[in-house]
A and B are shown apart, each in its own frame.
Chain A
């Protein structure tokens, strides 16, 4: 990712860089695998990057408690591996994207599959924009787990295959 040159002096202006472009460069380096901004000590920046990922993992776990519980001790590492260099779309979407990615490579634990099935039944999510609540009844099927949503209420009809 390159630095957006939002300042009057542009990003290549060295000392004359604007606050806006310096901030954009820093955030990109911290969350989107952007190049390290000039002059920052690499050790503290790496610590900050790791701390942001841990904080994000905690937020995703609050939105997706069963997914996190299903992964158990592997949760922090699984999340960080997936999330590093991938900017956040918020806890709900991050967890959703991760659950789908794990499902695609058959690495989604049963609890996570049940949670994902319930979410798929409750919301319509295209992977790009914020999930929207479904207005009509729907089924969610993930890895053997089946959830049904009627009038906004979601029930698990069949648990996932362990």
Chain B
């Protein structure tokens, strides 16, 4: 079974033709909730699998950080997608997306409290029991912090990983966004994270708006994010890095340039 390695890209229906023609591609992610499990997976994904490309289901709606127990039906779907695409691992977020019967519509940060650590660890363990493969957890970009925080981010994340033996999906753009919006040093966080547990990285573009840096996935990757990626890989290079783009898809040449820039920053072979 092939764990992710090299430069990957988030597979989306809008760019499936572009992705199919990347000659060196070994690794993609697919949004788990977008894959139906009642029939065969999308043809383009099947073709990628037939070429030996690793497909990692990336969940966005499990709400592992919710105070209530994770929905077994959602875990079952993630597990089914993992089996459908013969994934070596799945990934989800350290976040919650619903509470009190309302959908937030996006990933929301947890309070960095011991109570929240206990809640999310319980849900991760529940999910792990029903998943056929390991799970990697992604810390999110947050525009706000809770007033309840007891732990700093490094302590909070390390505690969760230690208690669940989960892998880390480190989004370097999220690290950049959080540090910039909080006025903290992103390198100081990287120095305290267990980089040897990173299964793969995420890289994405963002934009400044109203005094905040937004992790939009619809803008080009900024120079600062690429520099941080280079710094990270100089400290400890994870096995793979994946470009996430979720809209305002640029011409193919621009996407290829971004993939090449990620490859150069990490020291990986180009996939274009």
Contact = CB atoms under 8 A, between A and B. Distances in A.
Given A50-B210, A87-B102, A22 B148 contact: yes
A31 interface: yes
B100 A27 contact: yes
Nearest to A3: B100
Contacts of A56: 105
Interface in B56-110: 66-68, 96, 98-106, 108
Interface residues of B, number: 33
Contacts of A47: 143-144, 210-212
Contact of B67 (A23, A28, A43): A23
B116 A19 contact: yes
Q: Which interface class (under 10, 10 to 19, 20 to 34, 35 or more) fits A? A: 35 or more
Nearest to A58: B247
A26 B105 contact: no
A44 B212 contact: yes
Contact of B98 (A21, A22, A27, A59): A27
B210 A31 contact: no
Nearest to A23: B99
A56 B103 CA distance: 11
Contact of A24 (B102, B103, B119): B102
Q: Which of A6, A31, A41, A55 has the most CB of B within 10 A?
A: A55
Interface string A35-72: 00011110111011011100110110000000000000
B99 A88 contact: no
Contact of A38 (B103, B104, B147): B147
B214 interface: yes
Contact of A41 (B103, B144, B214): B144
A154 interface: no
B68 A20 contact: yes
A19 B100 contact: no
Given A3-B100, A4-B101, A38-B147, A51 B67 contact: no
Interface of B: 66-68, 96, 98-106, 108, 111, 113, 115-116, 119, 142-148, 181, 210-212, 214, 218, 247
Which 10 A-B pairs give the minimum distances between C-beta atoms?
A: A24-B100, A39-B147, A44-B144, A20-B67, A23-B99, A19-B67, A48-B143, A24-B99, A27-B99, A4-B100
